[in-house]
Amino acid sequence: MPAEFLDIAMTPDVMDVQHEMGSDELWQSPHRQRRGERFGASEEAMIATRDSFYLATLSQTGWPYIQHRGGPVGFLHLLDETTLAMADFSGNRQYITTGNLRGSDRACLFLMDYPRRARLKIYATVEVVAVDADPQLLAQVAPENYRARIERIYRFHLQAFDWNCPQHITPRYTARQVADWIAEDIVAGKAPAVRVYEDADYVAFLDIRPFSRGHTLVVPKQHYENLVDTPPDVVAGMAKLGQRIAQASRESGLHADGNNIAINDGKAAFQTVFHIHLHVVPRKSGDKLAFAKGMLLRRDPDRETSGKILLEAVARLSDPQADLST
């Protein structure tokens, strides 16, 4: 039967430490309201949008084992208000988690939402289901268009859950989230950015992680994932604007001696944001910036000033209303 999370977590040793630190009245009060017996709408939303979580099991040596589990978004399924399930994909064939579950069916799931700085902790017992034992369950947990072999199914029976505070969680974003942010927020003007050019089809703004002063990204407002996905005329427009910004970096107060112009096409080519963009990286003779050696990161000491310099220089070079797609 599901219990209160702290009924499981708070052992006599834990309560002794709480007493020593003066927090026993806070956490050992009978009026504490931290029920976690059934999943609700908040938990359902958290579970349905995860593409990974951490799973802890207990070994016969007494040592805990924590494993990162991942898959397509939603691979951890909420079957009902007290039951979860997931397909266990073939991996490195160590079978430590599955072996641990033969000795103890107790587990803890730790779900992270880094952008929202939220974490959900779940105590559960685990039922290991043979892949051919329940065809209906298999159909529920088998992801579509995902290249992985399912070896078994884990069915989690909720014992208790709790949410943690956001303290000390650093926001982190997936490549897809960043691409959506560029397409939906920066392009739409909802998110802050140091813009150096904008027209009906393109926007150019300073990279938030510049390799050099004036490092600019040229982005089409229409979403295209990579170079192959992008129409040739759009690529030509990006190149034309990139050329103008490169010229501006030479003729402005940035005093660049040259520029690197690059489009990273695909994960193998170091593309991490999957909304097509062109890099314009101003260079100075002797700057010793080596792209091949770990992609060294350098900060712009004054992004606002750099952006203003480029903005004014680009505007002076040609008519800002010019059609870049021709």
By the 8 A CB rule, do 264 and 217 touch? no
* Residue 317, Cβ density class (10 Å: 0-12 exposed, 13-18 middle, ≥19 buried): middle
DSSP 8-state symbol, 288: -
Longest dimension (CA), the chain: 74
What pairs with residue 51 in β-bridges? none
Q: Is the dihedral of CA 79, 83, 166, 168 positive or negative?
A: negative
Locate tokens 């072999």: which residue? 149
The distance from CA 274 to its chain's CA centroid, rounded to whole angstroms, is 13
Identity (one letter) of the amino acid at 115?
A: P
Residue 5 CB partners (closer than 8 Å, separation 6+): 34, 36, 121, 123, 160, 161, 162
Residues with catalytic roles: 277
CB atoms within 10 A of CB 64: 12
